[in-house]
Amino acid sequence: MPTRTDLPELDDLLPIVDVIDVKTARGAVSLREFTAGALGHGPLWIKALFGVRILLAWALRLETAVPDSFRLRPETVSFTPGDPASFFTVVRGEEDHYLLLKVSDNHLVAWLAIITDNGRPAEFKVVTLVKYLRPVGRFYYNLIRPFHHLVLLSMCRAGETSFASR
């Protein structure tokens, strides 16, 4: 039986994931600007959390992706499947509508979707989807979950404002 959702861009993934988390943001920015601001956001406290995350992954013998240090710009945000976007890979997207990104580790697969309604100001749904591949994936994600919320909220704020005044 089909599942109805307010996230039709993700209907194929919703039945197979273990975690769905949705944050909303509003800003006078485009999807490219929001994405570049959110993914390019890297204050010291987030870098420190990623350092702890790397140590935790090492202790649990997990392979995990590491964010790169280049700063995303709106003009470099790609909608082409297979292209990189921070430590994600583009799965699919539609200019001025949504972008779906994916990262695969040996313990879980995570998707990040950014969906906009293109209003002025635009509303953005920032959706995290997680599929556990092994029991340690559930353990790991539940350890980082409180920090995930803080990081995503900070990314949303950066996406809302990073390119708004330009």
The answer to whether residues 98 and 122 touch, using CB atoms and an 8 Å cutoff, is no
User: Would you say residue 166 lies in a domain?
Assistant: no
Cα-Cα-Cα-Cα torsion 113, 37, 144, 104, nearest 10 degrees, comes to 50
Cα–Cα–Cα angle for 150, 156, 158, rounded to 5 degrees:
105
Range of the domain at 134: 8-161
Of 23, 7, 14, nearest in space to 125 by CA: 23
- Position 4 pLDDT exceeds 50: no
Mean model confidence pLDDT for the chain: 87
The pLDDT score that the predictor gives to residue 2 is 39
- Position 82 pLDDT exceeds 90: yes
User: Would you say residue 55 lies in a domain?
Assistant: yes
> Which CATH number does the domain housing residue 148 bear?
3.30.530
User: Would you say residue 3 lies in a domain?
Assistant: no
Residue type, 82: G
The pLDDT score that the predictor gives to residue 153 is 93
Strands 19-27 and 122-132: antiparallel
User: Would you say residue 157 lies in a domain?
Assistant: yes
- Burial of 40 (C-beta count, 10 Å sphere; 0-12/13-18/19+): buried
The pLDDT score that the predictor gives to residue 67 is 59
The pLDDT score that the predictor gives to residue 19 is 97
The pLDDT score that the predictor gives to residue 25 is 95
User: Would you say residue 74 lies in a domain?
Assistant: yes
User: Would you say residue 2 lies in a domain?
Assistant: no
Query: What is the tens place of the pLDDT at every residue in 120-150?
Result: 889 999 999 999 999 999 998 998 899 899 9
Cα-Cα-Cα-Cα torsion 145, 151, 154, 159, nearest 10 degrees, comes to -110
Q: What is the DSSP letter of 104?
A: E
- Find how far residue 87's CA is from the centre of its chain: 10
User: Would you say residue 17 lies in a domain?
Assistant: yes
Higher pLDDT, 82 or 121: 82
User: Would you say residue 99 lies in a domain?
Assistant: yes
Query: What is the tens place of the pLDDT at every residue in 14-46?
Result: 999 999 999 999 999 999 999 999 998 777 877
Domain total of the chain = 1
- Position 97 pLDDT exceeds 90: yes
Would the CA dihedral through 96, 125, 154, 82 be positive or negative? negative
